[in-house]
Chains A and B, each alone.
Chain A
Amino acid sequence: MELAIGIILGCCALGAGMAMIAGIGPGIGEGSAVASACEAIGRQPECRSAVTTTMLMGCAVAETTGLYALVIAILLLFVAPGRFVNILTETMSNLG
């Protein structure tokens, strides 16, 4: 029983860590967005505010996939272990 619970907790933590690999994607995406924005400001310094606003918007949209991964990781860390352990104990008590 303790071993089963330990495996559940460990796998949840591993899964959360692996879900956050998705953080690579938004990182690269936002980096390229900011790089292009810097280039644009360097070329046309007068439209700095418009470029900055658009860049922030684009970054926010690019972040979305990373945030999905974050939400899944948080669910795996804080919600899933309790659920799984409850299911385990229920089935164990049903089995006797």
Chain B
Amino acid sequence: MTVLPILCGILLYVMMTPSSEDIEISGALIYFELNTPIQTLPITESQVNSWFVIISVFFLCLYLTHGISATDPTRRQHILEMAVEKCEGLVLDNMGEYFKGFAPFIAAVMVLSAFSSLLTLVGLYPPTSDFNVVAGWALLVFILITYYKFKCGPVHYLKSFGDPVPFLAPLNVISEVATPVSMAFRHYGNVLSGSVISVLVATGLQGLTHVLLGRLPGFLGEFPFLQIGIPAVLSVYFDIFSGCLQAFIFAMLTMLYVATGFPEEDYKAKLKKKAAKA
């Protein structure tokens, strides 16, 4: 069941993609358009692929948690427990005791991002190389940061902009807005640049092979001599290493921004005051 959505995605990709001979770099394909009263809503490849990723992660979780027992743990239960403990330890180290409940959210962000970037391995369009998808995630993180800054009331939130001197407030507003923008651009830029460079290298190697072997007759002249193996090295770096690293960095930055934005001391003082009043 985990593999089925990915297979559906490949089938859809093969069916919908217009065939072309030369290598080209393009954005997400638009599969179809929904007509809503306000405007037409394009359903793109990135949306469809991210839903496939969500479904396959869901079934992966079901598979991993199926039949767990306290007395007689199986191998996959050990793997699952290790992952959960690692994630909880990471959240506890970086965010502190108050944000303990953040572990599932952070794990979800990390897994979704990593699996989306790894979709390139099966030849599908990775949703993370579409700016809109990543911008949505960054917006979610921005809402979380602002929510935790609001915990001490709106006055405290507005006061935090006048820190350290009040006339620096515009700069503080800019840096506040720059947080989600830079997060989104970082993730999207890394994944997209990887795929662009891979395509450029593949095209270059094709040209080079044509120069080297083009004069040989028949099958030998068409033989993709240099394209074997060399792009795979780049793929290991850009698709596997960079994809997983960006997922980790996105989750890490989420943790750090939320934890540092939250005025924990003031919030505790406020709680104490409330308790003393009551």
Contact = CB atoms under 8 A, between A and B. Distances in A.
Interface of A: 53, 56-57, 60, 63-64, 67-68, 70-71, 74, 78
Contacts of A53: 252
B166 interface: no
Max chain B C-beta neighbours (<10 A), residue from A53, A60, A78: A60
Interface residues of B, number: 17
22 contacts: A53-B252, A56-B245, A57-B249, A57-B252, A57-B253, A57-B256, A60-B253, A63-B186, A63-B190, A64-B182, A64-B185, A64-B186, A67-B185, A67-B186, A67-B190, A68-B185, A70-B189, A71-B185, A71-B189, A74-B192, A74-B196, A78-B27
Given A60-B186, A63-B186, A64-B185, A70 B193 contact: yes
B189 A67 contact: yes
Chain A binding surface SS class = helix
A50 to B, nearest CB: 9
A68 B186 CA distance: 8
A64 B182 CA distance: 7
Contacts of A74: 192, 196
Interface in B228-278: 245, 248-249, 252-253, 256
Contacts of A71: 185, 188-189
A35 B245 CA distance: 20
A60 B249 contact: yes
Interface of B: 25, 27, 182, 185-186, 188-190, 192-193, 196, 245, 248-249, 252-253, 256
Contacts of B186: 60, 63-64, 67
A48 B115 CA distance: 28
Nearest to B131: A71
Nearest to A78: B25
A82 to B, nearest CB: 12
A60 B251 CA distance: 12
Given A53-B252, A67-B185, 15 more contacts: A56-B248, A57-B249, A57-B256, A60-B249, A60-B253, A63-B186, A63-B190, A64-B185, A67-B193, A68-B185, A70-B189, A70-B193, A71-B188, A74-B196, A78-B27
Contacts of A78: 25, 27
A53 B25 CA distance: 33
A59 to B, nearest CB: 9
A10 B77 CA distance: 58
